[in-house]
Chains A and B, each alone.
Chain A
Amino acid sequence: MSRAHTPLLNRKRIRKLLLHLVLLLIVLIIGFPLIFAFCVSTQSLPEIISGPKVAISSYLVQNYRGAWQRTNMGRLLFNSTFVALATTFGKIVMSILSAFAIVFFDFRLKSVAFWTIFITLMLPVPVRIVSTYQVISDLGWLNSYTGLIVPLIASATGTFMFRQFYQGVPGEMVEAAQIDGAGPLRFLWSILLPNSWPNIAALFVVLFIGAWNEYLWPLMITHKREMQVVVVGIRSLIPGGGDILPEWNIVMAAAIFALLVPVCVILTMQKWFVELVIEPEK
């Protein structure tokens, strides 16, 4: 190779290096609120008051224990986990069933069923909150797991995703099953479901995070502390006005408890999320 190439290659390499540096800086800036929150959650109150420091101190255990006890964190985390898992599970089961019916059967009210489900997408919880609250209160479901879970269990997103996936299933597969004498439920259980796991995993990520982070609904229908979920429960720690000095170290420890589970779900399962939710056409 001629001499002219060497500086060019070097320039390319320097460019790439710079690019990595810029990207790492961006990653650091995005991560900074959490890094700082963690630092604060290890500091004592006098340390915090003496001025902001990005440094880890030695009060970690004490602060996290304080946050755990003060908010009844065990119960909050249990409620969040249980409600999020049950909602997600229910949504997945129901959307598999309805998408299966819509794709693999011809029935007279098919388009009515489809549109009924579709319209759910257009009416997010907040815009119909007051009258939905009335329904739950009439049913006597306030302060109950049923009230927290059941009304949120219909998912148009899930039905759409499975519908799209089922439409792509080769017709020969269905015919083969029919020739073998398999009924529709047998086909769903032994053939469709075993092939759906990546889709289920992708949907799980989206739905679980959505359910865990649901705020307005549990806020409205639970007044008893022991029925609260963590996102609502840590509200009591958020300082309003006044001259009470909030214990920011405890607040930050509680916030970290509240974000740990959904962030871990994203980190461990983001492969499915990215492949099937964001890039489904590939």
Chain B
Amino acid sequence: MSQVTFKNKWLPYLLVLPQIVITVVFVFWPAFTSLRMAFYRTSPFGDRVFFVGWQNFQRLLQSREYLASLRITLFFAGCVTFFGVVISLGIALLLNQSLRGLPFYRTAILWPYGIALPVAGILWMFLFHPNFGLIPYWLRGIIDFDFDWILNADAAMLIIIVTAVWTNLGYNVAFFLAGLQSIPGSLVEAALVDGATSFKAVRHVTIPLLWPTTFFLIVMNLIYALFNTFGLVDAITKGGPGRATEILIYKAYNDGIISLNLGSSAAQSVILMITAILLTVFQFRFMERKVSY
């Protein structure tokens, strides 16, 4: 789509200049420094840097801690994405039945999206509190689970997964609803007329047609879980107990800022950047296809 344009030699440069300057100074330059630092190591006293080639990366991939953090991250991101997408698809399917009060329900589900993850974490932390929280109180005698997130790794992981899913749920539901409403009702009706039960119609007609939205949301939720959950981990578990909730983004920060292991932290940042670039490209490719479909 090309637009009718104005003729001016210098004005367009002037208009994009502010954003380009900020992007170069605060995005490109730091990204470039990280990239360069990833190939250097700082001496123990921090007074000299050596070029070490790919050594920082090799060390990372051989480091048991890094691989453990990778496993934790995959588990965390997998759970957040899976439960986030499945639960919100369920809610969206319930909502998509020409109901009265749809705007009310959408709003009543969307609002937690406004809450910062560390703050949302505080709310859930208390609900799960082993002594004063309601959930352990209700479940007492039903299941035997130690809800103390300070000592029990599973409890800490449970809190951050639940909080991350809860905060993003309304956003997912809103996208699913938009996707569902763009599916022609006649297709589903045709399936019903052909004798399909409504469960079968959903399973074989609605869900396949909804796939573009589902895919988009899977990528969005992965990006969210991988890169935007730093505050949740930092405020609630600090990566603990032990290293049980030390996800990659938190480890990169911790190794760089707290332990001042700049080379390793930079190498970790570079790996994360590549992941972010791949996911974004994936998502954009797909959005373009969605437009033509």
Write the residues of chain A forming the contact surface with B, with a CB cutoff of 8 angstroms. 16, 19-20, 22-23, 26-27, 30-34, 36-37, 40, 48-49, 51-52, 54, 94-95, 97-98, 100-107, 109-110, 113, 116-117, 119-124, 126-135, 150-151, 153-154, 159, 166-169, 171, 174-175, 178, 183-185, 187, 209, 212-213, 215-216, 219-220, 231, 234-235, 238, 240-241, 248, 251-252, 255, 258-259, 262-263, 265-267, 270, 274, 278-279, 281
Contact = CB atoms under 8 A, between A and B. Distances in A.
Interface string B145-187: 0000010000000000000001001100011001001100000
A36 B12 contact: no
B276 A167 contact: no
A23 B126 contact: no
B277 to A, nearest CB: 4
Contact of B235 (A26, A103, A113, A238): A238
B27 A123 contact: yes
Nearest to A175: B4
A169 B235 contact: no
11 contacts: A98-B19, A101-B12, A105-B5, A105-B8, A117-B19, A126-B252, A183-B6, A185-B11, A234-B119, A238-B122, A258-B119
Interface in B1-55: 1, 3-6, 8-9, 11-13, 15-16, 18-20, 22-31, 33-34, 37
Contacts, number: 287
Contact of A270 (B110, B116, B169): B110
Given A263-B114, A279-B178, A134 B30 contact: yes
Contacts of B27: 119-120, 123, 128, 154
Interface in B99-122: 99, 101, 105-120, 122
A133 B37 CA distance: 14
Most chain B CB within 10 A, of A52, A103, A185, is at A52
Main secondary structure of the interface of A (DSSP, over half): helix
Most chain A CB within 10 A, of B124, B253, B266, is at B253
A186 B119 CA distance: 45
Contacts of B273: 122-123, 127-128
Most chain B CB within 10 A, of A102, A131, A168, A235, is at A131
Interface residues of B, number: 96
B280 A33 contact: no
B227 A127 contact: yes
Given A126-B249, A154-B27, A248-B132, A98 B119 contact: no
Interface string B215-257: 0000000010001101100111010000000000100110011
Contact of A259 (B114, B181, B231): B114
* 10 shortest interchain CB distances as A-B pairs: A215-B231, A213-B116, A101-B15, A131-B30, A105-B12, A262-B114, A131-B33, A266-B114, A171-B4, A130-B256
Contacts of A132: 26, 30
B114 A209 contact: yes
